Amino acid sequence: MAIHEITHPLIQHKIGLMREAAISSKDFRELAGEVGNLLTYEATRHLPVELVDIKGWTGESLKVKSIKGKKITVVPILRAGLGMLDGVLNLIPNAKISVVGLYRDEETLQPVAYFDKVVKNIDKRTALIVDPMLATGGTLIATIDLLKQKGCKKIMGLFLVAAPEGIAAVEAAHPDVDIYTASIDDRLNEKGYILPGLGDAGDKIFGTR
Ligand SMILES: O=P(O)(O)OC[C@H]1O[C@H](OP(=O)(O)OP(=O)(O)O)[C@H](O)[C@@H]1O
Ligand SMILES: O=c1cc[nH]c(=O)[nH]1
Ligand SMILES: [Mg+2]
């Protein structure tokens, strides 16, 4: 598995703003979208391109580069993943969207799946999972299991913040998946929250804290 920590100054600045205890839901949501957008830019850096023929402005035919296949499905993990979705779609507006719903049981920290609606031809698409937090890794592993069961072969994930414990768990379970994150933080606390982290991203995005 390749883990990419994107250390661009714009991303570091925005993640720093998100760590402020008194941040409003409005600001947190906006920043989640902006960092999601910047992570998408990095994650799509190596998409294959091909030469296609077009008619240029002079009327002459011209070869231009075009993204090969253009087959991406964005996979936001409910709820918190919705906070990054607009930022991702901003750069890949034609992507199909496959929604999965999982929450983490507060006592056991195990993921509980409650919804999925995945595009039909997922076997022919690259899945781009989006979720602000990669903590124990349980939610991501369950999501990748689900996508692979449905035939998906190429999977990437975008996370605002990731914990070393979760990265190691995902790497052991799914070594073929590429992870892009704005920050690899220090560790998990006893309740499975990332430190220094962002707190509960879903509650902050939806104003339910
Ligand atoms: O790596 P893990 O230990 O599995 O934890 C990460 C998950 O926890 C959060 O979701 P949460 O369960 O709070 O659901 P929500 O998005 O509805 O708030 C987060 O958005 C991830 O999906
Ligand atoms: O730190 C964490 C861990 C899991 N889920 C969150 O929203 N935040
Ligand atoms: Mg939550």
Residue 82's contacts (CB-CB under 8 Å, 6 or more residues apart) are: 76, 205
What is the pTM assigned to this prediction? 0.96
Delineate the domains of the chain, giving CATH numbers in brackets. Answer: 3-206 (3.40.50.2020)
Q: What confidence tens digit (pLDDT) does each residue in 116-140 have?
A: 999 999 999 999 999 999 999 999 9
Ligand 1 within 6 A of 163 CB? no
Ligand 1 atom nearest to 103, measured from its CA = 12
The pLDDT tens digits of the residues spanning 192-202 come to 999 999 999 99
Q: Which residues, other chains included, contact 152 with Cβ-Cβ below 8 Å and sequence gap of 6+?
A: 122, 123, 125, 127
Predicted-complex ipTM score: 0.98
Q: Whose CA is nearest to atom 6 of ligand 2?
A: 200
Distance CA 119, CA 185 (A): 33
pLDDT tens, position by position, 54-112:
999 999 999 999 988 768 999 999 999 999 999 999 999 999 999 999 999 999 999 99
pLDDT higher than threshold 80 for residue 191: yes
Pairing of β 61-67 and β 72-78: unpaired
Contacts of 155 (CB under 8 A, 6+ apart): 126, 127, 129, 144, 147, 148, 174, 176, 177, 178
